[in-house]
Amino acid sequence: MEAQSFSVKRAEVEFHSFASFGEPERAIATYAEENIRRGEVIRNHLEFLQWMTPFLEIGASAGHSSYMMVNEFGEEGFALDLSADALRHGRILMDRWRLDRAPIRIAGDALRLPFADNSLRLVMAFQMLSQFQDIEAVLVEAKRVLQPGGVFLFAEEPVRRLLSLRLFRAPYWEQMKPWERKLHEWGLLGFFTKDVIGAHQEESFGIRQNHRMTLWDWDHLIRKHFVDHEYELFVPQRGWGERVVYRLGRLLDRYGSPWVPTRLLGGTMAAVCRKEGFTDYVDGLPPMATRFEALLKCPDCGDGLRRDASETLHCASCGYEARNEDGVYTLIRSEDRNELYPGLRGDVIDFCQGSCEERLLSGFYGVEGVFGNRYRWIQARAVFRLERVRPGPLTLRVRGHAPQRFQGGRITLKANGAEVGSYAIGRQGLFILEAPLPGNDSSYEIEVLASPSFQSPPDERWFTVNLSHMRLVG
């Protein structure tokens, strides 16, 4: 089983760049709420954790929980995410929360951590393991970089519920139909849907979710790789339907614990897992701020890295180089880095990186939005041009947002005059459209036909949807 395909990695970069601060006020409020929950989990297990420096958070997004670690807990460590842009947005958190310290931020792959063996005391993962089809591969990599006796902590991971028909995936509350909201209030929606934890947006980007893990599966995996562990189980009790089943499950459990209710109703779990062995800090903790590069390794050849006076990391063996770009080092193997961060090539239009005026032919209004969510509204017909930069079959990928007034509308895509896809937009919100392109043309003139159009008085312009990211992918 492939742990995570390259197309999913590309979707991860795109999604985290968008979601980290696509809606700044909402994102900051969410990050603050998450840090309260995550800080509580850490405090509940401080005796088990013992030491937490140097730490690494994988799948850190904007790094908000790593900022909590260095400012609230006084630890030192790294925030790692596949999206360098998401990590760069962390400077907004420092300004908004008036923070004095920042973690060392690294764009990297959780399946190929750019860290030496036995180099870290704590590895954390919050709400990210379920984005891997082979979760064990992530645990094995985390165990590799942990010191003997180090701890892997994960939280907010979904546990598959047994009592569900799994008919469809429930959307976010804002996008639920009235009957879905009523079932949700009664605590009955989960008995019919795959989950109600809001995976729809990630999946629309192309991120495959792994919600196959039952409580027994998690327990088996942890016992296989770690010598000791502690769990916390969080079981939903939404409405009378789930409250009744929860109470019944506690009665059926031989210890009166949440174990049986979690198996029946699912939910989320947190676990702290200790690696075999013991590390004695004879000489004290490593001074992270002065020589953090000693813990790193080259993503291409695996040798050590050096840091020069310009704050650039170098590999003396293979010549790999990673500059400090707005506080973020990108340590991803070269072949992946070139594709995940193409910049404004001829096959990419990304309004977060520039206006792209030279490739917009007609039907686009001005750039709006902030940070990871810059976009242009379009008319009923919009045309843009993309250039081929690689051989072989190509797929057109278009990301946009449909307002409530467009709900139930339709979008048709044409490439060099030929229709390549037609899509009904069933709900308002984010959409990702993908269509295979015919032929082997060197360039493609793409038409986007959207209906219905609407006006928003006193503005006299006609609108349909907005677009933010268009590219050709292999």
pLDDT in tens, 1-49: 688 888 889 888 888 888 888 788 889 999 999 999 999 999 999 999 9
Residue type, 74: G
Name the segment(s) of the chain with CATH classification 2.60.120.260: 348-473
What is the chain's Cα-based Rg? 24
pLDDT of residue 285: 55
Average pLDDT over residues 308-328: 94
Q: Do you find a cis peptide bond into 393, omega within 30 degrees of 0?
A: no
Instruction: Give DSSP secondary structure letters for 422-462.
Output: EEE--SSEEEEEEEEPPS--SEEEEEEEEE--EEETTEEEE
Q: Looking at residue 448, what is its pLDDT?
A: 97
What's the pLDDT at 198?
55
DSSP 90-127: HHHHHHHHT-S--PEEEE-BTTB-SB-TT-EEEEEEES
Percent of the chain with pLDDT over 90: 75
Give the tens place of pLDDT for each residue, 349-362: 999 888 999 999 99
**Helix 64-71 vs helix 24-44: crossing angle, to nearest 10:** 50
Query: Can you give the pLDDT at residue 427?
Result: 78
Q: What is the mean pLDDT of residues 267-271?
A: 95
pLDDT at 113 over 80: yes
At residue 183, the pLDDT reads 94
Q: What is the pLDDT of residue 220?
A: 97
Q: What is the pLDDT of residue 279?
A: 79
Please provide the CATH number assigned to the domain covering 6-274: 3.40.50.150
For 205-219, the pLDDT digits (tens) are 788 888 899 999 999
Q: Enter the pTM of the model.
A: 0.88
Gap between the Cα atoms of 375 and 13, Å rounded: 17
Q: Which pLDDT band holds residue 288 (cuts at 50, 70, 90)?
A: low
Instruction: Render pLDDT for 373-432 as a digit per residue (tens, 0 to 9).
Output: 899 999 999 999 999 998 899 999 999 999 999 988 999 999 999 999 999 998 788 888
Backbone angle region of 251, left / alpha / beta, with phi > 0 → left and psi within -120 to 50 → alpha = alpha
pLDDT band at 282 (very low <50, low <70, confident <90, very high): low
Q: Which helix (H) or strand (E) holds 78?
A: strand 77-81
Look-up of token digits 């004095």 = 100
CA distance 161 to 412: 38
- The pLDDT of residue 158 is 92
Over residues 225-239, the pLDDT tens digits come to 999 999 999 998 999
Residue partners of 36: CB distance under 8 A and separation at least 6: none
Instruction: Give Cβ neighbours of residue 166 (< 8 Å, ≥ 6 apart).
Output: 193, 194
Per-residue model confidence (pLDDT) at position 196 = 57
For residue 166, count CB atoms less than 10 angstroms from its CB and return exposed for 0-12, middle for 13-18, buried for 19 or more: middle
Contact 110, 140 (CB under 8 A): no
CATH of 348-473, one of 2.60.120.260, 3.30.70.380, 3.30.465.10, 3.40.50.300: 2.60.120.260
* Range list for CATH 3.40.50.150 in the chain: 6-274
Q: What pLDDT shows up at residue 390?
A: 86
C-alpha to C-alpha distance for 59 and 474, rounded to whole angstroms: 25
pLDDT above 70 covers a percentage of the chain that reads 97
